Amino acid sequence: MFKQGHESTPDETKKSNLSLEHIEYLRRVRMEKIYIRVIQFLIVVFALGLWELCANAKIVDPFITSQPSRVFKTMLRLYEEGVLFHHIGVTCLEAIVAFVLGTLLGTMIAIILWWSEFLYKILEPYLVVLNSLPKIALGPVFIVWIGAGPSVIIVMTLAISLIVTTLEVLNGFLAIDEDKIKLVQTFGGTKLQVLTKVILPASAPTFINALKINVGLSWVGVIVGEFLVSKAGLGYLIVYGGQVFKLDLVMTSVIILGVAATVMYQGVVLLEKILLRNKV
Amino acid sequence: MRTKFILIPIVLMLCLSLVLSGCSKPQVLTKVKLSEVTHSIFYAPQYVAMTQGFFKEEGLDIELSNGAGADKVMTAVLSGQADIGFAGPEASVYVYNQGKEDHSVVFAQLTTGDGTFLMGRKADPDFKWSDLQGKTVIGGRKGGMPAIVLQYVLSKNGLTAGKDVFIDTSMQFAAMPGAFIGGQGDYAIIFEPTASSMVKEGKAYIVASLGKESGEVPYTAYFTKKSSIDSNPELLQKFTNAIYKGQRWVANHTPEEIAQAIKPQFPEENEQVLVSSVKHYQEQNSWKTDPVLSEKDFYLLQQIIKDAGELDKIAPYEEVVTKKFAEITMKNIK
């Protein structure tokens, strides 16, 4: 195996403290990462190319599916009209606000439920029912309660993401090793100290998972909210495009949405690396 | 001994029922999937055709579904989920202008003039359109007929949408009545029977009729894919015949009779609301007496949409509309 790679001198090996096999292994890991990125890029290029060709050859109906060239033209037109970043900005702002609120509220509620097991036992069945309710159907009701404005969008998103986040974080708390808690308690630790010294630090991975789930749900909630009530934003463009049959507008918004949601998800992944690196 | 005597009439009855069932002709009806833009008394002639058996006479069995919006009705037709769509003709214009090859063609018109009513929070018998100065009207969706016609009516009365009057198009169609009752906006435009329903509950009052101001703009009509026109002309002719019969029935009956006839289609509505809704539409001649969509009305529609800024080019009548089924039905059904 180690005969295939570059031969490192005994000095090199001594300096880096790594064996030959280890260096070779690291090189292979790096190469694999590069291969994966290249193939991912090629898939995107290939898919876009195939889409454009099929649309031009009328194998798929470009009226319904649009095509990359039309999507690009639409984006350009929106940019020239000066509204492109306005719509993207509105939706992204709603998504970020809803995401942060959902995470904070979800974590706080999870802490409260962890603190009082009695309260949790009482509320558990209600949480399950609330979780299964189709909040989308309650949309028109939200408007009557809150009035038609951006707050409805935030509320709709919270309705969709809050309980799932809470339960996910709570389950993370409850799964912490009992022995660690006992350890702190034998040293005379209060409940608050158990919380801050054991539970919160140990549930960082669960917390990150909850964030990842929350990103997806926040975007769903924001778009559902915009379908319900909106004067601007990517969801608004989708509704308007559908209304006047400018399906290019619909497809363009969907694609921008996909990119924005991916960027937000990558943000969480970055956060994960930072948090977990410090842990190790 | 006695049981044997009872058996004889029983066997006779069984034989008789077998014979009779064999005698009746099995009715083979062609199923037609029809998607309507919304469920409203505005479309009474269609429901009359369904409940009074006119479709059945023509050998058709209508499977009605509520599309909840012209865009969804058009999508259902273009994707083949519905055979015939029933919505504003503007949807067919939009589709044609976007370059779709097998676009939709309109073949029968049912309603003329706007079908919504302007609702306010207080009764206002002296309502003038200038009262809307500086106010907000919940107007449906941007690019939809109600909002476009509202803008047209406002301009006819010297008011500019966006400057003098603010049309709120941010809300989903289904959410509008609830939002208005909940305090959103100063006025709202609502179809029947929801409008009369809101009046009955004391939540809102009808202050004006958009239909009386809009002129004879074709509002709702039947359309199908161009390929269907070419491949199923007999079916479409039968459909148009039934619709024409419904239109003539409605033209010759009182509001109370019409309300009775369409009751099965509106089971939760109070009879009073039904009659009042029918009266409103009948007074303003919303129901055409024949299914022909004329060139004049078609171009008026497009001009109104263009003025509202939602149309870039005018579509040609010959491509988007056909009146051959309507003309034949008028000749044959007397």
Q: Does residue B102 share a domain with residue B239?
A: yes
CA distance A45 to chain B (A): 27
Which CATH number goes with the domain that contains B92?
3.40.190.10
Regarding whether B295 and B205 lie in a shared domain, the answer is: no
What is the nearest CA distance from B81 to chain A, expressed in angstroms?
Answer: 15
Q: Are B88 and B151 part of one and the same domain?
A: no
| Residue B240 in domain | yes
Are A52 and A73 in a shared domain? Answer: no
CB–CB contact A228 B179 (8 Å): no
Name the residue range of residue A43's domain.
Answer: 10-60
Residue B136, domain extent: 117-214
Does some domain include residue A5?
Answer: no
Helices within B58-127 (DSSP H only): 70-78, 89-97
Task: Give A63's contacts in chain B (Cβ within 8 Å).
Answer: 95, 98-101
- What mean pLDDT value characterizes chain A? 85
Question: CB A140 to CB B174 under 8 A?
Answer: yes
Does residue B52 or residue A2 have the better pLDDT? Answer: B52
Interchain CB distance below 8 Å, A230 and B181: no
Minimal-distance CA residue of chain B relative to A224: B172
The rounded distance, in Å, linking the Cα atoms of A247 and A242 is: 6
B43 alpha carbon, distance to own chain's centre: 4
Q: A154-174: per-residue pLDDT in tens? A: 998 988 888 888 888 888 888
Domain boundary (A41, A60, A79) is at A60
Query: How much is the pLDDT for B1?
Result: 54
Predicted pLDDT of residue A280: 46
Q: Quick one: B87 and B131 in the same domain?
A: no
Residue A141 pLDDT > 90, yes or no? no
Minimum Cα–Cα distance from B169: chain A residue: A231
In this structure, the answer to whether residues B222 and B94 fall within a common structural domain is yes
- Kindly tell me if the per-residue pLDDT of A142 is higher than 80: yes
The residue of B37, B98, B223 whose CB has the most chain A CBs within 10 angstroms, and thus the best one to mutate to test that interface, is: B98
A76 and A55 co-located in one domain: no
Q: Please list every residue in chain B whose beta carbon sits closer than 8 Å to the beta carbon of residue A225.
A: none
Contact flag B172-A139 (C-beta cutoff 8 Å) = yes
Q: How far is A240 from chain B (nearest CA, A)?
A: 7
Same domain, B207 and B307: no
Gap between the Cα atoms of B247 and B195, Å rounded:
23
Q: What is the mean pLDDT of residues A70-84?
A: 88
Instruction: Examine residue A16 and state whether it is found in any structural domain, yes or no.
Output: yes
Give backbone dihedrals phi and psi of A12, rounded to 5 degrees, phi first: -55, -45
What are the φ and ψ backbone dihedral angles of B69, each rounded to 5 degrees? 130, 140
Q: Identify whether B14 is part of a domain.
A: no
Touching check for A63 and chain B: CB below 8 Å?
A: yes
Residues B125 and B260 in one domain: no
User: What is the least distance, in Å, from the CA of A115 to any CA of chain B?
Assistant: 39
**A245 vs B95, B174, B178: nearest CB:** B95
Which residue blocks in chain A are alpha helix, DSSP H? 10-16, 20-56, 62-65, 68-80, 84-115, 117-132, 139-146, 150-174, 178-186, 191-194, 200-202, 204-228, 234-243, 247-279
Same domain membership, residue A229 and residue A178:
yes
Mind listing the pLDDT tens digit for each residue in B116-156? 999 999 888 889 999 999 999 999 888 888 899 999 999 99
A155 and A56 part of one domain = no
Is A147 at the interface with chain B, CB within 8 A?
yes
Shared domain for A151 and A253, answered yes or no, is: yes
Q: So what's the pLDDT on residue A163?
A: 86
Neighbours of A204 (CB within 10 A): 15
Q: What's the total number of domains in chain A?
A: 2
Residue A9: which pLDDT band, with cuts at 50, 70 and 90?
A: low
What average pLDDT does chain B have?
89
Residue ending a domain, among B214, B249, B272, is B214
Given an 8 Å threshold on Cβ–Cβ distance, is B98 in contact with A143?
A: no
**What pLDDT does A278 receive?**
65
First to last CA, chain B: 64
Return the exposure string of B54-89: e unless at least 16 CB atoms fall within 10 Å of the residue's CB, then b.
bbeebebebebeebbbbbbbbbbbbeeebbbbbbbb
Let me know if residue B16 belongs to a domain.
no
Q: Which residue has the tokens 């090793």?
A: A177
C-alpha closest to that of A228 among B170, B38, B194: B170
Residues B210 and B221 in one domain: no
What gap in Å lies between CA B218 and CA B90, rounded to an integer? 9
Report if residue B11 sits inside a domain: no
How many other β-carbons are positioned within 10 Å of the β-carbon of residue A237? 27
Q: What is the pLDDT of residue A14?
A: 54
3-state secondary structure of A206: helix
Q: Are residues A33 and A171 in the same domain?
A: no
Nearest of B149, B307, B309, B277 to residue B219 by alpha carbon: B149
Tell me the mean pLDDT in the region A47-63.
Answer: 87
What pTM value is reported for the model? 0.78
CATH code of A150's domain: 1.10.3720.10
- Answer with the one of B164, B187, B214 that is the final residue of a domain: B214
Are A148 and B95 inside 8 Å of each other by CB?
no
pLDDT at residue A8 above 70? no
Which positions in chain A touch B168 (Cβ < 8 Å)?
A: 148
Q: Do B171 and A144 touch (CB under 8 A)?
A: no
How many structural domains comprise chain B?
A: 2
Q: What is the CA radius of gyration of chain B?
A: 23
Last residue of a domain, one of B167, B192, B214: B214
Residues A45 and A127 in one domain: no
Residues B80 and B222 in one domain: yes
B154/B233 same-domain check: no
Q: How deeply is B328 buried, as exposed, middle or buried, from its count of CB atoms within 10 A (0-12, 13-18, 19+)?
A: middle
Enter the ipTM: 0.76
Clarify whether residues A265 and A154 are in a common domain: yes
**Which regions in chain B score pLDDT beneath 50?**
none
Tell which residue, B163, B137, B131, B133, has the closest CA to residue B150: B137
- Would A1 be classed as within a structural domain? no
Residue with more model confidence, A12 or B142: B142
Contact list in A for residue B76 (CB cut-off 8 A) is none
In this structure, the answer to whether residues A185 and A214 fall within a common structural domain is: yes
Which among A42, A60, A78 is the end of a domain?
Answer: A60
